Amino acid sequence: MADTEAKTAVKTALKNEKIGAVVSTKMEKTIVVEVSRRVPHPLYKRIIGKRKKFYAHDAEETANLGDVVRIIECRPLSKLKRWQLVEIVRRAPQVGAQPKELDVKI
């Protein structure tokens, strides 16, 4: 009995996990997360930045533009969506401009 519990714990623990910034929230229940990493160039060994975008499922639509989020692998949900939002690590600062500050007549 303990072996089966250990096997199920191992299966859930092996899901790939990434942390990145939300770059788009224009779709319903979907966010686009850009994950950046720094790797050495294969020939010249200079550190370069690489970026990749992932489509992730956001069921409650809680993530906003600029938030830093954690996503994990899941089954394919659509043609491009294979990731799911787990948590929002850090919220982006929301700047709200008032009409008086913009010199707009109301």
Strand partners, 80: none
Query: What is the pLDDT at residue 39?
Result: 97
Is residue 106, in this structure, part of any structural domain at all?
no
**Residue 98: inside a domain:** no
What's this model's pTM, rounded to 2 decimal places? Answer: 0.76
Our count of domains for the chain comes to 1
By the 8 A CB rule, do 72 and 86 touch? Answer: yes
Question: What is the residue-averaged pLDDT of the chain?
Answer: 88
> Would 74 be classed as within a structural domain?
yes
Instruction: Note whether residue 30 is domain-resident.
Output: yes
CATH number at residue 80: 2.40.50.140
Who has greater pLDDT, 4 or 73?
Answer: 73
d(CA 12, CA 35): 22
Q: Domain range holding 65?
A: 16-90
Cβ neighbors of 34 (< 8 A, separation 6 or more) are: 20, 21, 23, 51, 52, 53, 54
pLDDT at 25: 95
In angstroms, the Cα distances linking 25 to 29, 56, 63 are 8, 10, 8
